[in-house]
Structure 1
Amino acid sequence: TRMTFLLVGQLSQPVLHVDWSDLDTFKGLFLIRASLATQGRSLTLYEQVHCLKTKEKPETHRVFMNNLKSMRPEACKPIIVTDAGFKTPWFKLIERLGWDYVGRCRSNTHCLKSGTDTWLPIKRLYGLATSNAKNLGKYLLAKSVGHSTRLVVYWRKAKGRKDKTVSGDRERKSSQSRSCAEREKEPWLLATSLTQAARNAKQVTTIYGTRMQIKESFRDLKSGLNMNHSGTRNQKRFKVLLL
């Protein structure tokens, strides 16, 4: 708690990444982590280990974020950055905390443009993406929730990566690898609570672009620290290993 206070204490609106990662090859234990965006790898502020039963549950997220909130100065109002695995209820949670968010929208979510009456799949908005970040204005997200948010769309230039496995095979075997490859081909459609006056569209995409830092830190955890080879399925044991 003291370290978190020191890291963010001088920042009025730090960018924090929150994400989940599996911890073992058995897909039985998972880590949720909050980290501070920096110039290199993100700096871990707080993390919890969970089993499949509590992974990605609303109550898990609520407790995690309330604990994180208790660790920072009252004047610190962070921007929380997440990928498409965090849905509309997550955005509502962040707003209840009095913070801001930038999160990616994908999958089967529907949206409604402010001032219209027709719900559309969010993928319909992909066609508006260009290499210049574009502010799309206010939308309602998810028919069942109707959460009001600002949307920004951006077509990021491809990095030229080939659809290959680590061993060099052209064809990817796993559905997860296929899904990741498909995701990287899609434009960024970002939901944010930040107003146009606070951050323009380009600044919003720059904030989201820092999210790769937490992915790199997860790779360090699994490969550099050999967490994938720990051999344990015990949740308490994993908590000790992460210290």
Structure 2
Amino acid sequence: MRQSAGVDACTEGKAKGNLTTTRSEERSHSMRARRQLERVGLSASSIERFLHAAVKVDLHVKTVLSLSLATLGVLHSVSLCIHVIGRGMAWARDGSPKHATKQVDRLLSNNNVSPWLLFDAWVRFVVGPREELLVALDWTEFDVDDHATLALYLITRHGRATPLIWRTVKKSSLAGKRNAYEDEVIERLHEILPKATRVTLLADRGFGDQERYAHLGNLGWDYIIRFRECIIVTDADDTARPAGEWLTSTGRAKMLKNVRVTQDKTAIAAVVLVHDKRMKEPWCLATSRADLTASQVTKLYGRRFCIEETFRDVKNVHFGMGLSATHIGDTARRDRLLLIAAFAHVLLTLLGEAGERAGLDRLLKTNTVKHRTLSLYNQGCYWYTADRSPHFIRQIRRFPRRWHTASTEHQCGTVVCMGPRGSGVSGEPTTNT
């Protein structure tokens, strides 16, 4: 019995020693990881500088610091759950998860942080000096909390849409107010952008109505909006048919110019009708871009779906940050959380661009094609989490200069925007990954 007790005591002592060693190793690993992230540029101080450049408003210094730390917590935890953000912040800063979570919670309840007011600086930062924009308007819903978020995002060529403006409202209060909310968001972006900026709006069938066409026309915006097949379309020869009956037998894209829609015969520049073999349903598109061909209009509208992928990055539990699984009762708190998510999204996109400029994207491909197969956002997510690998430690030497270049050249549409050039049709292959 004595010998057994001695063995047990010895074993217990070794276990305690191993536990101490494990904690020591974790702490040293945490310190190494933070040093590596600082070399990349995604430290708390660099994120704070990024936010000062992106949100040039009269915010308290401590508020900007809290925003930067919350963004760091989102990057580190890859989650929008408040307590998980706090744990990620604590891990990155070697602090207390309890106090970090409280800091995030207080930030989300801070009425001085108004995303609606910050959009002035944020939109100008993202858009830069570009003279032509392609934007998508869509709703995304959070049924458990009775919330619906209206998002107006910039369509890009790097695989994801960049958040510009959004607003969350009670879903139960949408009856009779939906169009008013949509007009408010559109007009908010319109008043921020320079008057010379040409904007083309992409939207699905839920936004296709006569009043929307007239409203966008009064603002000087172009549009490509899908509408239902049963809507009456009258051509220049005064022949009226449901939109679905104007489709060709082959389903190839067809454009009708100088047409009128609905029984009220509202005049619009053109209608494009197409039913490609890869489509489940025909597309009936109302557009003011009569300067483009039917094929070009179809391709532009096809790029609208990258806003859905951005929604997935934010909402999905398995493939994103899990916002749909987070209970948030107040719409203002959700908008502030989406602001932090937008900061993290853009930073990861810039990190992916830095890796691509360093030639590291080829290490992520499973094929030999030359074009991009992974979105810059996905590449950035990988390189942020790869700081634990010895391979990343070797490759990270290439990052700092590219990161600085990517983060300072985000304007002119080279990184964050990646918007359409010229007519808005040409550009790199679009990825859905």
Equivalent of residue 258 in structure 2, options 138, 141, 146 = 138
What is the CA distance between 1:33 and its match in structure 2? 0.8
Residues 123-171 of structure 1 show CA distances to partners (whole Å, capped at 9, x for unaligned) of 2223x2645422122321122462434111222232xxxxxxxxxxxxx
Number of residues of Structure 1 aligned to a counterpart in Structure 2: 213
Counterpart in the other structure of 1:151: 271
Within 5 Å, give how 1:46-125 maps onto structure 2: 46-52=165-171, 53-54=173-174, 57-88=178-209, 89-116=211-238, 119-125=240-246
1:69 is paired with a residue of what secondary structure?
helix
Q: Does 1:9 align with 2:131?
A: no
**Matches of 1:151 and 1:129 in 2, distance apart?**
17
**Is the Cα contact below 8 Å between 2:231 and 2:243 reproduced in 1?**
yes
CA RMSD of aligned residues (A): 2.1
Q: Relative contact order (alpha carbons < 8 A, sep ≥ 6): 1 or 2 greater? A: 1
Q: Percent identity?
A: 26
**Matches of 1:130 and 1:226 in 2, distance apart?**
42
In structure 2, the CA distance between the partners of 1:237 and 1:7, relative to structure 1 (3 Å rule), is: closer
Q: Does 1:37 align with 2:158?
A: no
What is the CA distance between 1:75 and its match in structure 2? 1.2
Amino acid at match of 2:288: S
2:314 is paired with a residue of what secondary structure?
helix
**Matches of 2:276 and 2:129 in 1, distance apart?**
32
Which protein is richer in helix relative to its size? 2
Amino acid at match of 1:14: L
Residues 220-229 or 205-214, more deviating: 220-229
1:111 is paired with a residue of what secondary structure?
strand
**Is the Cα contact below 8 Å between 2:137 and 2:153 reproduced in 1?**
yes
Equivalent of residue 215 in structure 1, options 308, 311, 328 = 308
**Is the Cα contact below 8 Å between 2:145 and 2:329 reproduced in 1?**
no
In structure 2, the CA distance between the partners of 1:217 and 1:129, relative to structure 1 (3 Å rule), is: farther
Q: Does 1:203 align with 2:296?
A: yes
TM-score by length of 2: 0.46
Unaligned stretches of 5+ residues in structure 1: 159-183
**Matches of 1:186 and 1:27 in 2, distance apart?**
32
**Matches of 1:123 and 1:222 in 2, distance apart?**
34
In structure 2, the CA distance between the partners of 1:207 and 1:240, relative to structure 1 (3 Å rule), is: same
**Is the Cα contact below 8 Å between 1:130 and 1:154 reproduced in 2?**
no
Counterpart in the other structure of 2:337: 241
Say which one has the larger Rg. Answer: 2
Counterpart in the other structure of 1:192: 287
In structure 2, the CA distance between the partners of 1:50 and 1:140, relative to structure 1 (3 Å rule), is: same
Counterpart in the other structure of 1:178: none
**Matches of 1:65 and 1:115 in 2, distance apart?**
34
1:16 is paired with a residue of what secondary structure?
strand
